[in-house]
Chains A and B, each alone.
Chain A
Amino acid sequence: MKSLVILGAGTAGTTVANRLHALLDSDQWRITIVDQNETHYYQPGFLFIPFGIYSKNDVVKPKRDFIPAGVELIMSPIEHIDAEHNRVTLAKDRRILAYDFLVIATGCQTRPEQTPGLKDGAWGHTIHEFYTVDGAVALAKHLRTWRGGRLVVNVVDNPIKCPVAPLEFLMLADSYFTEHGLRDRVDITYATPLPGAFTKPIASRHLGDILERKSIKVVPDFLIERVDPDARRIVSYDEQSLEYDLLISVPLNMGDEVIARSGLGDDLNYVPVDKHTLQSTKFSNIFVLGDAASLPTSKAGSVAHFAVDCFADNFLRLIDGLDLLPTFDGHANCFIESGFGKGLLIDFNYDVEPLPGHYPLPGIGPFSLLQETEMNHWGKMMFRWMYWNLLLKGQELPLPARMTMAGKMYR
């Protein structure tokens, strides 16, 4: 009997547990999945909570409902991964799990305490965030009675989970305040450590002025050093200062602490992997799926999904003694809400930047790449159903895992 242990029952962990459970012979393989929280969050939905579009109930379901019978689910924090000896120590009962193969899918989390002043007394009052369900709910409550002022959205540093979410938040805020008759009393500013809101040449050409058209001011190259919560201002390392009445922070993202404790991560606790096979660069029986991996692509559910597709095929090759194929191309596919019932869609990989065109059917769509359409918005809204009912259950979606150039145009 061989043992496969999966750490983390989020998007990547749950999907891969379902997929491999269906593919592996249950007489020969024991699959175990470990997570410390009972609740599965539909994280793309957090963005909608502050604006009253979704409630907490729309984004939560029990993790147990998505783990197939035949896969052992253990609810416990993970104490340590001993990669040299192929075993994992759990906090619960100090249980030790030995494995033949390990999948790390422990994701990444926001770490507001890493920025001085951010998590002081003003946290939850004049400083909010929307990357946790509690944060998003608290912000929804705050916005319901907010009378306007200077709204600053700040990304502390990259990489972040769902890198388009801050842009979506800005555009949804513009839409929300307009609909509430408050837009003329709200200044919206985006302070980003990147050289601009859009940095890829073709996307910039298509979308570069979209924030300007919505009267959203962009402050580029802003690397925050500290928050001065009493003076309500954020200060960058080069002493630029931005005053706010309401600060929406996207705190520093880091991989799980167990990665650091186990000596498996880089400076942000992400695990280095081969970018085409997702195999650990140090241990050939460890694979890393989802946000936990150090990869030059977005940290996003679509990436986790495509990575699982590629990994599952490769894993079957590996256990049959075949070489891994370098199949994963960094494919990401992200809807971007742009407010007023419209949205954008981007589709890209390691080598190809977001391009205009149609997706998934060339020339037809129904979705339009790099263009604001109502259909793209509906795609995003329908995606929640697909997530709970198809994606998490490991079913093959009719979308190729690898990016295709069909339907895309260089222009």
Chain B
Amino acid sequence: MIMTRLASILFFAILAVGFLGQADVAVAKEKAADNYSLYCVQCHGSKGTGRGINAPALSVQPRNHTSAKDMSSLTDESVFKSIKEGGVAVGKSTQMPPWGGILTDEEVTDLVKHLRGMCKCEGKK
């Protein structure tokens, strides 16, 4: 009887942990999507194709985040660095600003994952 009780407590505990973990992931993903909307869409566009409202004023076309060909040519580390330190840090345009003073490292890491979801591609190894 006691064993059955313990087993059911353990079962529900495992379920609860599972749900919590899932909730964490879901929140993290949504946060990255929200951060993308607020900070990236102004140049990269709501579709992520590089055609945001600021794009016509830029001398360099913002990167198309949905392009598997373009995005798979970049390592996750270089994408992280360009978001955090700006385009100059990876030899690209100054028009990509450094978001490290606004976003945490964790938020930038989540954004890299979000971009990989947008391009449906993996980073260059």
Report if A and B associate in a common complex: no
Residues of B near any A CB (own CB < 8 A): none
Residues of A near any B CB (own CB < 8 A): none
